[in-house]
A and B are shown apart, each in its own frame.
Chain A
Amino acid sequence: MAGFFHDNLSYFLSGISVGGQYALIAIGYTMVYGILRLINFAHGDVFMIAGLVMVYLSASLPFTLSIPLVIIATVLLGFVIERVAYRPLRSAPRMSVMISAIGVSYLLQNAALYFTGGLAKVYPSIPGLSDTVVIWDATTKIVTLVTPFLTIALVAVLTLLIKHTKIGMAMRAVSRDFETSQLMGIRINSVISITFVIGSLLAAVASLLYFTNYASVTPVSGSMPGLKAFVAAVFGGIGSIPGAVIGGFIIGICENIIRGGASIFGIPGTGWTTFSDAFTFAFLIVILVVKPTGLFGEKAVDKV
């Protein structure tokens, strides 16, 4: 067993690292969905924009300045998107809001395409995170090791926030029953804004980690991680933060195992890797059909 892990450690390391990054993005999805019942299709693109902002800022500023600025810019972007594209449609049918989300995603991608000229931008290497280390004969970047711990730490803070603060209580109330909490005097709009702010903040952190690992940003860099993170959120039970985290890790690890399938299990064939993305979706459909509430989802009354 130890030998098996030793031989395949690099797959697990990649899986855990990318899983942690998915988890951070997934929290943004799951919180927004929990409150607004909206799949925020633009979330993955917010993550991509955070990467691009970092590329441009770090060209002229030191990291001590550019990293906080990236986080602030991303938070602002998330806030503005909610304000401009989702809030006016609050009383519209759910389909309209989702279409608006798709529109925002399209807009962000095209804006990125225009400003980058369609070329991949090389992400700066952040000293400390980008260095390589050797653990148990597997070579990897430090960021791979940092990611899971940082993810868990952030989630712990977030859970405390939600459990023990007033605003956290308001969030829980709104996600439980939108209208009643409004009647109880909770300011829905500010709760929703804060949800988007937290989601974008975590997306910015995820983008720092993700692009340090995979150092190139293109206009479509955000869409696949975004979709996978959404699947992770569904798997964990939408609305549940620990669920999203566990979902993220599981998806990240599975995806890398599939890519390494031929080598790990000694099954030859070239077809494996074709399905590394499709697997995620197959997984999603199985969950939706078998257990739509996910791992930790509440058995919510369907509010259709």
Chain B
Amino acid sequence: MDSAYRKRLIAIWIGIAAVYLAVLLLDMTLRPTSMLLTVLKKGAIYSLVAVSMNLLNGFTGLFSLGQAGFMLIGAYTYAILTMPGDVKTSESVYKYYECFITFDTGVFIGLVAAGLMAALFAFLIGWPVLRLKSDYLAIATLGFAEIIRAIFQWDVLGPVTNGANLLRSYIDLTRVTLPFTDIPFPPTLFVFMVSGICILIIVLLINSSYGRAFKAIRDDETAAEAMGINLFRSKELSFVISSFFAGISGALLAMFQYTVQAQQFKSMMTYEILLIVVIGGIGSISGSCIASFLYITLSEWWLRGLDMGTFLGISAPSLFRSGFRKLVFSVIIMVIVLFFSRGIMGDKELSIPRMRAAFARAAKRMRKEAAG
């Protein structure tokens, strides 16, 4: 059993290494603006935030809708910290305010600070909110995300946040360099590494005793409490950790899109992430990752033809006009929610033996159908 386990572990690591190598190769060969790299980057970013949401919704059973707010905090913290000091003091970004923060930090500190800042907010918000039950919790976290957005747009905080105006000229993905050198870091690989490490930490957490406590709370709060789990502290822990990673993914999103503005982090964004989690399967990390890539690739790339007049060679400009892609997409989502409510993975993880078994079952069924 032990050797089989070790074999599986080695296979997983080889698989992961192959993915990263492929990403590196793509990064070196394709041109940086290619659509494939764009969706890979955004997909990796959404994977992280979807997994962080899954930690709350799928593993701890807390229905929180505050993800966009924490991403906003992360994105702003990162952008403000890594924007070069001379840009901040000049007029080019902070047009109407004197920037209050004049120093700047590197990428790594920026990312960590982004996570910590989001975690700090989560810690404070968690106090009142986590005592609420299911849908009340959902609506309260949704409300907090809106409040956070208003605070970041507040004129009085302009010297820090640039009011409601956009932030730019910070260290974006094209400006990341290898440590201690001037060699640019392959951008897609960078996103994959940061997301990968964060997701790995979440996986380790879920498989630790904390993770078991979370799952116990999800399955039955009363029983979990009876077993000696401190409900509030565990929930708060899960909430803070989830927000930490949402903050980091917000920072990555800021790096990815060159500019960041509070306006974009609306509740619609949280809904999108929630739908990704649902499509992937509530309670499945690999499901969330697959669903993120699928969702981003479909919505940003492959289904774009639905908006532009021709799709799969069919030209129908009056049908395939602006907005049709989103309409088709939301119908697909409703179908998934209603008929495939367990999503792609259910609460299982992607693993080689399971895939093999699934294919074997499918093959058997096909043989049977062919025979009968």
Binding site for B on A (CB under 8 A): 37-39, 84-85, 88-89, 92, 94-96, 98-100, 102-107, 109-111, 113-115, 117-118, 223, 227, 230-231, 234, 269-271, 274-275, 277-278, 280-282, 284-285, 288-289, 292, 302, 304
Contact = CB atoms under 8 A, between A and B. Distances in A.
Interface-central residue, B131, B143, B278, by most chain A CB under 10 Å = B143
Contact of B150 (A96, A102, A117, A278): A278
14 contacts: A84-B338, A85-B338, A98-B135, A100-B337, A103-B330, A103-B333, A104-B334, A114-B327, A274-B153, A278-B150, A278-B151, A285-B129, A285-B140, A285-B144
Given A100-B334, A100-B338, A278-B151, 15 more contacts: A85-B337, A92-B341, A107-B327, A110-B330, A117-B321, A223-B267, A234-B139, A281-B142, A281-B147, A282-B147, A284-B143, A288-B136, A292-B132, A302-B133, A304-B221
Contacts of A39: 135, 138-139
Contacts of B136: 234, 288, 292
Given A118-B322, A271-B155, A288-B132, A107 B331 contact: yes
A273 to B, nearest CB: 9
A106 B57 contact: no
B285 interface: no
Interface residues of B, number: 48
A278 B151 CA distance: 9
A109 B136 CA distance: 24
A280 B268 CA distance: 18
B134 A281 contact: no
* Cβ-closest 10 pairs across A and B: A281-B143, A278-B150, A114-B323, A107-B330, A110-B326, A113-B323, A289-B128, A110-B330, A114-B327, A278-B147
B271 A117 contact: no
Contact of B149 (A94, A269, A278): A278
A114 B268 CA distance: 17
Majority secondary structure, B binding face: helix
A217 to B, nearest CB: 15
A91 B129 CA distance: 27
B51 interface: no
B289 interface: no
Contact of B337 (A99, A111, A275, A277): A99
A95 B136 CA distance: 12
B323 A94 contact: no
B7 to A, nearest CB: 37
Interface-central residue, A96, A102, A230, by most chain B CB under 10 Å = A102
Contacts of B18: none
A221 B138 CA distance: 22
B131 A289 contact: yes
Interface in B106-147: 128-129, 131-136, 138-140, 142-144, 146-147
B333 A95 contact: no
B146 A278 contact: yes
A211 B323 CA distance: 24
Given A102-B274, A107-B330, A304 B134 contact: yes
Interface in B281-296: 282
Contacts of B323: 110, 113-115, 117-118
Interface-central residue, A38, A85, A104, A274, by most chain B CB under 10 Å = A274
A217 B149 CA distance: 24
Nearest to A302: B133
A278 B145 CA distance: 9
A106 B275 contact: yes
B20 interface: no
A104 B337 CA distance: 10
B334 A103 contact: yes
B156 A271 contact: yes
Contacts of A37: 135
A199 to B, nearest CB: 17
B97 interface: no
B154 A271 contact: yes
A97 to B, nearest CB: 10
Contacts of B341: 89, 92, 96
Contacts of B155: 269-271, 274
Contacts of B132: 288-289, 292
